[in-house]
């Protein structure tokens, strides 16, 4: 959802397994595109289907990669049926075995391979969701794992409050 970019988290410690709307790259060669540059290209090359931007072009034209010439530049989101980024699988192999805790929030845990994070974690998992999920993957809510029922926003707001961190969180009205 891109909210990780509004924090002080080191981007190398955040792995959006389904990509990010806040980064752009060529889907063919993988060359990264500066995000501000990409946004400018969207404004000048992509039709405004909602009719909000009078300066938008009447018709869309592809955004061409400056590295390979392919018309395949888009946000780095992973579309249905596409492979997850290689970094996901590297992290699953290299980082997950050393994790102390896995937090899973707002998911059905039905779609593989993303659900492997919860399934393969040797450490405890905390699952925050509206309904229980993951027991069919081997999560044990009567053992090492914990299920917290509720909306993720509500649950994590309570955690922040209980930790005394609410004052450290920006007012949502102040966010860009």
Distance CA 4, CA 160 (A): 16
Is 93 designated active site? no
* pLDDT > 90 in the chain, percent: 55
How far apart are alpha carbons 46 and 26 in whole angstroms?
A: 16
Residue 47's pLDDT is 96
Chain mean pLDDT for the chain: 88
Residue 50 has pLDDT above 90, yes or no: yes
- Would you call the peptide bond into 24 cis, given omega within 30 degrees of 0 as the criterion? no
Output the six-digit token pair for 68: 């390979």
Region 150-166: mean pLDDT is: 89
The whole-number pLDDT of residue 13 equals 76
The model's pLDDT over 127-145, given as tens digits with 9 standing for 90+, comes to 999 999 999 998 889 889 9
Q: Which residue in 18, 90, 93, 142 is the catalytic one? A: 18
* pTM for the predicted model, two decimal places: 0.71
């Amino acid at each position: 959802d891109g909210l990780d970019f509004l924090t002080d988290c080191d981007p190398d410690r955040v792995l959006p397994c389904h990509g990010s709307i806040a980064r752009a790259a060529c889907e063919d060669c993988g060359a990264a595109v500066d995000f501000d540059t990409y946004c400018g290209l969207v404004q000048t090359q992509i039709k405004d289907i909602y009719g909000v931007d009078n300066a938008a072009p009447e018709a869309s034209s592809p955004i061409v990669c400056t590295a390979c010439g392919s018309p395949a530049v888009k946000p780095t989101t992973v579309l249905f049926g596409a492979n997850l980024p290689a970094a996901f699988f590297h992290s699953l192999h290299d980082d997950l075995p050393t994790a102390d805790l896995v937090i899973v929030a707002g998911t059905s845990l039905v779609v593989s391979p993303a659900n492997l994070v919860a399934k393969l974690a040797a450490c405890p998992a905390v699952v925050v969701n509206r309904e229980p999920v993951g027991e069919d993957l081997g999560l044990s809510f009567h053992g090492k794992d914990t299920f917290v029922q509720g909306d993720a926003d509500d649950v994590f707001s309570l955690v922040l409050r209980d930790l005394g961190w609410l004052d450290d969180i920006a007012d949502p009205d102040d966010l860009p």
